[in-house]
Structure 1
Amino acid sequence: MIRIIVNFVKFSVVFAVFIVSYIANAQKLENSLLWKISGNGIEKPSFLYGTMHAVCETNINENVLKAFEQTNQLYLEIDMDDPNLQAAMMNKMMMENGVTISSLVSEEESKIIDIFLKENVGFSLKTIDTFKPFMISSMYLPKLLDCPMKAVDMELMKIATEQNEEVLGLETIESQLIIFDKIPYKIQVEEILKTAKNNMVKDKEEMNKMLSIYKSENIEKMLELSLESENKMFVEYTDDLLTERNKNWIPTIEKVTKEKPTLFAVGAAHLAGDNGVIKLLRTKGYKVEAVK
């Protein structure tokens, strides 16, 4: 009888923990780009901030500046002030095994891409034919905006530099570029061709939606829009681009937050979802709450 009671109590405790965990993960996240991380052995709170790499307005408000005052260092996805960053990118810029953009499309499609690149990037296809397609895509990113492009990451780094705070990275540029290498060149080129054919109309629509949602700080909607994108790279390789990276960052975030108060700034789409950074940290026992 005693053994039955003990087993029942154990089951009840396990079931209760499961329910609490389920509710925490099922709960809708508040609209906020800035989140405070505390508890679970952290002496002083750290902060988590959602960014976008191309915006018109950075959304860096008084709360973010206060978070800077309460922290001692800035962690971005990669260390943007690493002196070896540019060399590392140049080293990984070209496709391997003699593959070229023009070898992955028809002659007529090559002409379409060539005209598009000349008009929007200032290079002919022949000049950058060996570049990895996603590198080329980043070149016309500013053209998707109806304003001078700003990068939230760069603005944050500027503030950190002014405050003599160290800037570090959750991953290396090499590991980030390897992720894109998992996406077949053919799929990457198809996205460039699709953009060239409609002259960026669809891409601009998606960008404008994303900018509007980012301004509203609705991180769940940002993730949702990313997953609904017409871009195959985002939809078919979500695990590589988001989920696995989120999971890989958690041990570093745990270690760093226990050492010194830190401001972590990553793409806003990484924050939301059951496999987003917020809920992954909560599952580990940390208190992660929106800063309003």
Structure 2
Amino acid sequence: MTGAALALLLGVSACGSEKSAPDAPVQDEAADRAAQLEAQKAAYADALAQAQASRGAGEPALWTLSDEDTTLHIFGTVHLLRPGLDWRSDALDAALTDADTIVFEADVTSQAAASEMMKFISTEGMLGGGQQLSNLLSDLEKAELQKALDHVGLPLGAIEPMKPWWAAVNLSVLQIQSEGYDPNSGVEMVIGAEAREADKSFEYLETIDEQLGRLANMPTDVQVDFLISSAESIEEGGDVLDTLVSEWVDGDVNGIGLLMSNPDMMGSDEVYDALLKARNEIWVGKIEAMLDEPGTSLIAVGAGHLAGDDSVIKLLEAKGYEVEGP
């Protein structure tokens, strides 16, 4: 589920030190990994059955938080979508029309953002000192990664200079795009273009450094697990993505939470915290601050952040706010 989860969004230090060779024989490592994969598949199958049994309102979920002079519409997005998918709703269109300001996770389209991204990746996404990614992996992990690379048609040399977290991101995005998903059809790109044409203001919940830094700062062994989990899910990625998008289009917040917004589906507590939980907690404070400013805003963030027990919505409600929505 790791690659699919990333799509709905993004000891040992993360500086690229070598991972020690496993003490157990390769066959024991392979058996342990196979057992882990079977457990993950069983957990996903159970979550899928529960998600398919639940239903949404038939359109992507939208919430509203307001006080005397401020209205905040909160909409869950998918960052990449198949071109031509019908996902618009009257409720979203009204919220977009009414909003003075559009709030996204991070600025990923401006020239300044592109420069910031290049600088961050050059310092935090690449291994230094002539190290190679494959040196951080066991023989079994190398084999799993190579199978995934063969599946998407990417040579190992293309990711050898990358730290594991950045290799995982690139592998997942390449796989997603190979399935026909297009960032230009993603919700933020569509909403952003319309908002710019209407001369609306833009705000962001985090910087590129803050967004990707949580992944870059994970310990190296956790980054490797993230990479290998992404590699192992490559062949099932298209089906997983289609299922998640179907749940999103139906507005099935419970289903999204079951399939994505929990540690079991994200591969580990560390990845779950880095991608979702820690960010949600910070965003809630920023959303609270927005209530101090009059006006109407549309907050559009990955749908996974608005589902599950640690969602932005649940955290706001725990603070005593009344959030209207599903």
Interval of TM-score (by shorter of Structure 1 and Structure 2): 0.7 to 0.9
- Report deviation, 1:214: 1.0
> Residue 69 of structure 2: which of 43, 47, 63 is its match?
43
* 2:185 is the counterpart of 1:154: no
Q: Which amino acid aligns with 1:53?
A: H
Match for residue 126 of structure 1?
Answer: 157
Cα pair 1:50 1:269 within 8 Å, conserved: yes
> Residue 323 of structure 2: which of 278, 284, 288 is its match?
288
Match for residue 44 of structure 2?
Answer: none
> Residue 280 of structure 2: which of 221, 246, 268 is its match?
246
Larger radius of gyration: 1
Count of residues in Structure 1 that have an aligned counterpart in Structure 2: 259
- Report deviation, 1:107: 5.9
- Report deviation, 1:230: 5.1
Separation (CA, whole Å) in 2 of partners of 1:29 and 1:258:
35
> Residue 89 of structure 1: which of 117, 121, 124 is its match?
117
Separation (CA, whole Å) in 1 of partners of 2:243 and 2:110:
32
TM norm structure 2: 0.68
Paired residues for 1:67-216 under 5 Å = 67-93=95-121, 94-98=125-129, 99-106=131-138, 110=142, 113-114=145-146, 116-117=148-149, 120=152, 123-131=154-162, 132-143=166-177, 145-146=179-180, 150-193=185-228, 196=231, 200-216=234-250
Separation (CA, whole Å) in 1 of partners of 2:301 and 2:171:
20
Cα pair 2:151 2:235 within 8 Å, conserved: no
Match for residue 307 of structure 2?
Answer: 272
Q: Which amino acid aligns with 1:33?
A: A
SS in 2 for 1:288: coil
Cα pair 1:80 1:169 within 8 Å, conserved: no
Q: Which amino acid aligns with 1:95?
A: M
SS in 2 for 1:287: coil
Q: CA RMSD in A?
A: 3.0
> Residue 81 of structure 2: which of 51, 55, 72 is its match?
55
Separation (CA, whole Å) in 2 of partners of 1:53 and 1:229:
22
Separation (CA, whole Å) in 1 of partners of 2:246 and 2:264:
15
- Larger mean CA deviation between 220-229 and 92-101 belongs to 92-101
Distance 1:187 1:218, change over 3 A: same
Match for residue 8 of structure 1?
Answer: none
SS in 1 for 2:161: coil
Q: Which runs of 5+ in 2 are unaligned?
A: 1-53
Cα pair 2:104 2:204 within 8 Å, conserved: yes
Cα pair 2:263 2:272 within 8 Å, conserved: no
Cα pair 1:213 1:222 within 8 Å, conserved: yes
Separation (CA, whole Å) in 1 of partners of 2:230 and 2:275:
21
Cα pair 2:134 2:160 within 8 Å, conserved: yes
Separation (CA, whole Å) in 2 of partners of 1:195 and 1:272:
21
State the Cα deviation string for residues 169-189 of structure 1 (Å, max 9, x = none). 101110111111233444444
SS in 2 for 1:60: coil
- Report deviation, 1:73: 0.8
Distance 1:228 1:106, change over 3 A: closer
Q: Which runs of 5+ in 1 are unaligned?
A: 1-27
